[in-house]
Structures are given as structure tokens and as C-alpha cells.
A and B are shown apart, each in its own frame.
Chain A
Amino acid sequence: NAGVTQTPKFQVLKTGQSMTLQCAQDMNHEYMSWYRQDPGMGLRLIHYSVGAGITDQGEVPNGYNVSRSTTEDFPLRLLSAAPSQTSVYFCASSYASSDPSVGYTFGSGTRLTVV
């Protein structure tokens, strides 16, 4: 089925470990982004990309890296995991970089716990 696929669905990390959250879409969307969702707070934008080879920071980029080598994939890398990065992470994509807010398609999320 077409859509946004996130892997893994669940992950437990130890403090200081690094890992990559994968996000792939098969809709040829230009725009892709990563959000985190914490209890009592709205979704917050981590990083986004308006096309292959182009990335930019969102509201809460510290501790995360991204790359966009292809249109389909937008991995999120945690450099050195901290308990404050315990969260649910969502990847989202959209057709038009000129109007990326229209019709975001979200993945099902990755639930990350850092101990």
C-alpha cells in the first residue's frame, strides 16, 4: 500500500547509543519531515526537507541529524541518545514544497525509549 513507512515501530536505547530511524515514502512526495510527540505537548518539528539533497532545521533539531539522498527516504539519526529523547517520532510527507502543509501523510510512528 502506498504511504509512509517508518521502522522500527518500537526501540529501547541506552543513554549514549546512536541509532537511525527510517522513513520511506512511495508517493514521489517532495516534502518530508520529522516530528516528535511528547505527552502534554503538541507535535514539534525536528527537521524537514523540501527535496533530495536539501534539509533544514525545525523547532527542536539539537541531537538529531538528517539526510535526503533520494526522494523516497528521509532517515533521522540520533547521535548520542539521551533520556530527553524518549518520545514518539512521526515522519510526514507531502507533494508540494511550495505548500507543504497541504495533505501531509504521516507514518504510524516509532516509539523510542532511552534508558
Chain B
Amino acid sequence: DAKTTQPTSMDCAEGRAANLPCNHSTISGNEYVYWYRQIHSQGPQYIIHGLKNNETNEMASLIITEDRKSSTLILPHATLRDTAVYYCIVRVLNAGNNRKLIWGLGTSLAVNP
């Protein structure tokens, strides 16, 4: 099963871009990369996902390297409310052709005033 590696913690100044890296060197060709975040004590929140192309939505941008072994989540103008744990996860295909996510410990992002 493909696993991900993320830094334990990061800091970012309010108003600046937050760039959160993720390593997924064992990802297979048909596995997507997903990003979620969890604000303290709340349920995780879906942010974005991608396969090979860069993706952008109203929350963030996702940059995936050409070899797909790593990706970066970009929050273009971080605010204090973006302080959260960010999870980079890959979709795993199990024997029943149903899919489950494997969650690591994520990156704890602190946005500072």
C-alpha cells in the first residue's frame, strides 16, 4: 500500500503562502492523492485531490511532480483560521475493489499573526 511522508509541523505568517509538502514515492499509476485538514477537535475537511495534473479550487492548489512521487499543497494567502493538521493521503485499492484511505499523522500547520 502506498504511504505518505509529511513534515510533523510547519509555521507560516498570516497573509503569506503556505506550502505543505508530501512524499508518496510508492504511489501507483492509478492512485489519487488527497488532501484533508482537521481543525482542532473537528472532523476532517476535504480540501482537494489530483492524479497527475495540477489542480486548483477555492481553497487551495495542488502541485504534483511529473514522476508523481511527491506533491505540494498551497494555501495562497494563509489566515489564522487555516491553522490545522493537514493530511496527505493516497487512495488504496483493496481486494474487494472498494477503496479506503490510509491516514498518517499529517502536518500541523500554525499560521502566526
Contact = CB atoms under 8 A, between A and B. Distances in A.
A75 interface: no
Q: Chain A interface mostly helix, strand, loop or mixed?
A: loop
Contact of A99 (B44, B99, B104): B99
Interface residues of B, number: 22
Interface SS of B by simple majority:
loop
Interface stretch (A13-21, A39-47, A62-70, A79-87): A39-47
Interface of A: 4, 35, 40-45, 48, 50, 56, 58-59, 90, 92, 97, 99-109
Interface of B: 32, 34, 36, 41-46, 49, 87, 91, 96, 98-106
Given A101-B99, A101-B100, A106-B43, 6 more contacts: A42-B105, A45-B100, A59-B100, A90-B43, A101-B49, A104-B44
